[in-house]
A and B are shown apart, each in its own frame.
Chain A
Amino acid sequence: MDSVDRKLQVAEVIGTWTAAITVIIGAVFGLYEYIEHKENLKVDRAFEFVTSYQSNEYLIKARLEISEVVEDSLPAIYEILKNPKLTPDELDKAYHSEIMKIIKQSKLSSSIQQVFTFYEQVLLCRDMALCDETVLKNFFDNDAGTHTRTFFPYICNLRKEWNNPKVYARVISFYIGSAEDLCQK
């Protein structure tokens, strides 16, 4: 009789431990699934930006306009950038005035503003950790980086015109760095 009781006790203990371990493993998997689900949401949000960037007709039009104008203006820009006689300050001033001249002549300001506003939204999603970093990095860093470095004189000009030093601050600080002294030149 004692032996049967003991066996029952052992079986009960083993059963309890098995159940407890199973529940713990289940909970760990549940947590893992929840984290995975959150990551998937981030990827989905990032891809919404990608889709918008590649299919929104206004954005596409703006990007095409910018590309065409830059391509047409390359000889003039190259002439300034490749001039070995210019000191860094002179280079900045010459580049600034050339970019502003190109934008005014081509009436490119609304297209640039549209594209930079989009980049700001992308960076906001990135900063708030709501979008997947890798997707945004791979799809936007090249375009947004080159556009920011190319058109930073325009952003500086906008800041002066609007008397607002925070214009496109997110884009400038992410792709160039500290913007305050950059625009003071």
Chain B
Amino acid sequence: MLKNISLVSVLVFCLILLTSCATQETQKNPSSLPEEAAAKEKDRGFDPCLINPKLSACKKKNG
């Protein structure tokens, strides 16, 4: 009886381990996407604070 429980537990453990590895593998691809897109996005946009940081909106951000 005890042997069976041990065997089933080990099998469940192995199954969880395999599922975990498979999930990690599928997550590798989408994770690189935001960084690449973010690098492109960062170059865009007019920001008045870059021209004159004395504007009250810029002081609030810094302070």
Q: Chain A residues in contact with chain B, CB under 8 A?
A: 12, 15-16, 18-19, 22-23, 25-26, 29-30, 32-33, 36, 40, 43, 70-71, 74, 77-78, 81-82, 88, 91-92, 95, 134-135, 138-139, 142-143, 145-150, 152, 175-178, 182, 185
Q: Chain B residues in contact with chain A, CB under 8 A?
A: 2-3, 5-6, 9-10, 12-13, 16-17, 19-20, 23, 27, 30, 34-35, 37-38, 41-42, 44-49, 51-52, 54-58, 60-61, 63
Residues of A within 8 A of B5 (CB): 19
Specify the chain B residue showing the minimal Cβ separation from A89: B56
Contact in complex: A16, B47 (CB < 8 Å)? no
Contact in complex: A19, B41 (CB < 8 Å)? no
Contact in complex: B2, A16 (CB < 8 Å)? yes
18 contacts between A and B (CB under 8 A): A18-B6, A32-B20, A40-B27, A71-B46, A74-B46, A81-B51, A81-B55, A88-B55, A88-B56, A95-B48, A138-B34, A138-B37, A139-B41, A142-B41, A146-B45, A149-B47, A149-B57, A150-B46
